[in-house]
Amino acid sequence: MTVLVSYVPSAEGYVALGAGLRAAKTTKQPLVVLNVAVGSNFAEPTFAEEKDLDAVRARIAEEGLEVDVRQVTGARDVAEEVLKLADSLPASLIVVGLRRRSAVGKLLLGSNAQHIILSANCPVLSIRPDPS
């Protein structure tokens, strides 16, 4: 079994990475970090540049763990990519970062985290950055 972190280069992604790292250390399971870019627009805020992924590798190496960092580009749906990988690993836990959304944003826009939470075949840990 594996701990899977859905990572974006943001405060939400950073706290998800930290939570996934702690879970992997505690359970002595492998850690996989997945970054998904939708379409071919690499200016998307979800796209992690190589320097971002190198920082992820360095942070985890500091903790003495090995990590498998993966990136999917050209995806149609972030949540579907995360769920597909979680099933194929198989994952014992998926970790996702949450961001604040307005009531209108919740109503009109889909949420990758919500889709993952409601559709995953394993437990999902959702975490938000400290609002301060």
What is the tens place of the pLDDT at every residue in 71-116?
999 899 999 999 999 999 999 999 999 877 656 555 544 588 889 9
**Pick from 8, 15, 1: which is nearest to 125 by CA?**
15
Whether domain 2-127 has CATH 3.40.50.620: the reply is yes
> What does the block give as tokens for 102?
């307005």
The length of the chain in residues reads: 132
Average of per-residue pLDDT across 110-128? 92
pLDDT digits (tens, 9 = 90+) for 9-28: 999 999 999 999 999 999 99
Whole-number Cα distances in Å, 66 to 20, 35, 52 = 13, 17, 17
pTM > 0.85: yes or no: yes
Phi-psi region of 111 (alpha: psi -120 to 50; beta: other; left: phi over 0): beta
Give, to the nearest 10 degrees, the angle between helix 50-62 and helix 11-27: 30
Q: How far apart are CA 19 and CA 30, in angstroms?
A: 14
Amino acid, res. 1: M
**Residue 66 scores a pLDDT above 90:** no
Amino acid, res. 111: S
Q: How far apart are CA 42 and CA 38, in angstroms?
A: 8
